[in-house]
């Protein structure tokens, strides 16, 4: 009996996600990370929907543990919001999967950046006991604006790498297209 989950395609996609997750351990501009790209990529290319959710989140968790052990800042009180935004990004990947084009990946990347901004800034406000009511929420979003540009640029950059790499590898190794 052959294993239908562990295929060359699965191993390649998983390896790409783990390598991308490791890049979080290197010094970088805040919010310029591959995590949303990993979630979008996983949602598009994992054949198994459960794996599409689990693998990017697992890669994120592993890198969070390593960051906590090495720097002390891997875990924080708004993590649930960060992880939730990546679950939604994986779901965006399911929509992109229906028609993977430059445009659909770009739109998915933009949507994931916006979702991350909205959810995580809401999380910051909620973690501060909804300080200042709706005016406080507005202030939180305004204070988060400087972090949106690196989020957006990082998502575009890493999506270009992940999706571009997979496209090029598929040309050389057509077995990765399906499987």
Whole-number percent of the chain with pLDDT over 70: 97
Question: What's the CA gap between 86 and 67, in Å, rounded?
Answer: 18
pLDDT per residue as tens digits for the range 55-69 = 989 988 988 999 899
**Phi and psi, residue 46, nearest 5°:** -70, 130
CB 14 within 8 A of CB 48: no
pLDDT per residue as tens digits for the range 128-176 = 999 999 999 999 999 999 999 999 999 999 999 999 999 999 899 887 7
pLDDT of residue 138: 96
Confidence band, pLDDT 50/70/90 cuts, at residue 97: very high
Domains and CATH numbers, the chain: 8-176 (1.10.1760)
pTM attached to this predicted model: 0.92
pLDDT of residue 8: 86
Residue 105 clears pLDDT 60, i.e. is over it = yes
Q: Identify how many contiguous H helices and E strands the chain contains and give both numbers.
A: 6, 0
């Amino acid at each position: 009996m052959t294993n239908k989950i562990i295929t060359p395609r699965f191993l390649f996609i998983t390896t790409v996600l783990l390598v991308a997750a490791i890049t979080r351990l290197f010094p970088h501009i805040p919010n310029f990370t591959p995590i949303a790209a990993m979630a979008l990529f996983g949602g598009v290319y994992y054949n198994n929907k459960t794996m599409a959710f689990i693998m990017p989140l697992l890669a994120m968790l592993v890198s969070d543990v390593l960051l906590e052990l090495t720097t002390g800042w891997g875990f924080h009180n708004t993590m649930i919001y960060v992880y939730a935004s990546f679950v939604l990004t994986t779901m965006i990947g399911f929509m992109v999967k229906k028609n993977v084009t430059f445009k659909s990946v770009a739109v998915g990347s933009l949507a994931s950046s916006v979702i991350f901004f909205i959810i995580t800034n809401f999380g910051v406000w909620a973690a501060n006991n909804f300080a200042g009511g709706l005016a406080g929420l507005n202030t939180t979003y305004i204070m988060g604006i400087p972090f949106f540009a690196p989020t957006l640029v990082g998502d575009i950059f890493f999506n270009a790498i992940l999706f571009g790499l997979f496209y090029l590898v598929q040309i050389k190794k057509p077995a990765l297209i399906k499987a």
